[in-house]
Amino acid sequence: MSGLDLGFDADLGPLWPYLFVLAAGFLATEVWRWAGVAFGGGLPEDSPLIGWVRAVATALVAGVVAKLILEPSGTLAETPALLRVAAAAAGLAAYLALRRNLLVGVAAAEAVLLGGWLLVG
Amino acid sequence: MPLGSERRIRAAMETPLPAPAMTRRAAILSGARAAIGVPGLVLFASMTGFGGLVREAGLDLSIGLVMTGVIWALPSQVVLAGSIVGGASLFAAAAAVTLSAVRLMPMTAAIVPRLRGEGTSRRTLGALSHFVAVTPWVIGMAELPRLPRAVRPVWFAALGATLTLSNLAATALGYWSAAALPGRLAAALVFLTPAYFLVSMAGAARTTTDRLALALGLAATPLAGVLGLGPDLIWGGLVGGTVAFLVGRRGRRG
């Protein structure tokens, strides 16, 4: 790697992973809370900027969900990708069809994942 | 109309009612108790899934605990864990996390007027704002108006501290469970996170923009990865979110 490899796994001492989390995790989130305190109530909730920010945040978290389904790590990676996609789709369908119950949706996704896994072997 | 009933009706309409005085101790207990309930349980279960995710990603438990403690926003925690697994640089990881956390700003701005006691300093509010995340925000927005102003900051601190402690325990529980459970159940535990996020985001999506952002984010991020565009989360989020926003705006106008 190059001299300026600032990845999580960079060889920069035992404290580096924690510094990485503090910088990329704590500071990156806390600044928005502090900004919220600074702006107080003077922030219009329906401004186009806030609308755009919400859309980007939603797409970003949806992107993480897609990655967790398509490229998981650990034992989950042993399942066929198609099974994981089917399980997620089943969860979504069950949630929308059955009274929008969160528990039903999550349980349906898990049931299809585990049931399908048993069938696939 | 008799005068008495008119007064009663007016009193019922004027919410919040003037709250009776409350001792500091009672406020701490009340705040801690508010952490126990359906929203708290859902968060606990999701955080257990996050603990499993940390373990299956090959990260240390201590890293997972620090993430829960200092980030205190599950989507941003999952984004950071995902960025680390994907080998993102510090800057790419920070950019993805910060984009996922911007919503904390309007949330904090909305709760601060309800949270503020008489003469609460900005520094105290800044410290208390660390506890702002979806679950404490929902509980706080509902409960704070019923409390006397003087004890609101300490009530919210007790709520936030209780939720943080229980979710540090949930992170550890999920981590150890993923290690102890048979492989398939550990995998099912990890699958809780995408399943829960997908379903709850679909439930929260009320506008065209929300639904499009969800669908485009799901599609664009893997696409950016396949095309090798670099930090796929940032590409997927920025492009998917911006397109969803523009389409949603045009739909409302036309």
Residue B117 lies inside a defined structural domain of this protein: yes
Among B160, B189, B218, the domain-final residue is B189
- Based on the fold, state whether residues B57 and B173 are members of the same structural domain: yes
Number of domains in chain B: 2
Contact B184 A23 (CB under 8 A): no
The 10s digit of each residue's pLDDT in A20-72 is 999 999 999 999 999 999 987 555 556 787 788 889 888 988 998 999 999 99
Residues of B in contact with A105 (CB under 8 A): 195, 199
| pLDDT over threshold 90, residue B20 | no
- Based on the fold, state whether residues B212 and B166 are members of the same structural domain: no
DSSP-assigned letters across all residues of A73-84: -GGGGGS-HHHH
State the pLDDT at residue B17.
52
What does DSSP assign to residue A116?
H
The 10s digit of each residue's pLDDT in A76-111 is 999 999 999 999 999 999 999 998 888 999 999 999
Q: Maximum distance among all alpha carbons in chain B?
A: 75
Among B189, B217, B238, the domain-final residue is B189
- Report the mean per-residue pLDDT for chain B: 89
State the pLDDT at residue A46.
67
- Based on the fold, state whether residues B237 and B169 are members of the same structural domain: no
Residue B216 lies inside a defined structural domain of this protein: yes
Contact A60 B241 (CB under 8 A): yes
pLDDT band for B1, please (50, 70, 90 cuts): very low
Extract long-range pairs of A89-92: CB within 8 Å, 24+ residues apart.
Answer: A91/B195, A91/B198, A91/B199, A92/B198, A92/B199, A92/B202
Q: Where are the domains of chain A?
A: 1-43, 46-120
Residue B89, strand partner residues: A7
The 10s digit of each residue's pLDDT in B166-223 is 999 999 999 999 999 999 999 999 999 999 999 989 988 889 999 999 999 999 999 9
Model's pTM, two decimal places?
0.84
- Based on the fold, state whether residues B253 and B184 are members of the same structural domain: no
Mean pLDDT of B33-49: 91
Least CB-CB distance to A41: which of B78, B80, B109?
Answer: B109
Contact B198 A31 (CB under 8 A): no
Contact B110 A28 (CB under 8 A): no
Among B159, B189, B219, the domain-final residue is B189
Q: A98 — alpha (psi -120 to 50), left (phi > 0) or beta? A: beta
Least CB-CB distance to A110: which of B104, B188, B220?
Answer: B188
Contact A74 B101 (CB under 8 A): no
Contact B90 A63 (CB under 8 A): no
- Based on the fold, state whether residues B239 and B158 are members of the same structural domain: no
- Based on the fold, state whether residues B31 and B107 are members of the same structural domain: yes
The 10s digit of each residue's pLDDT in B70-126 is 999 999 999 999 999 989 999 999 999 999 998 898 889 888 988 988 888 999 999
Q: Say if B54 is an interface residue toward chain A (CB within 8 Å).
A: no
**Cα–Cα distance measured from residue B205 to residue A59, given in angstroms and rounded to the nearest whole number:** 11
State the pLDDT at residue B198.
94
The domain in which residue B128 lies consists of 20-189
Q: Chain A to chain B, count of Cβ pairs less than 8 Å apart?
A: 320
State the pLDDT at residue B61.
98
pLDDT band for A1, please (50, 70, 90 cuts): very low
- Based on the fold, state whether residues B137 and B162 are members of the same structural domain: yes
State the pLDDT at residue B80.
96
**Cα–Cα distance measured from residue B161 to residue B140, given in angstroms and rounded to the nearest whole number:** 13
State the pLDDT at residue A102.
87
- Nearest partner of B100 among B246, B244, B243, B236, judged by Cα: B236
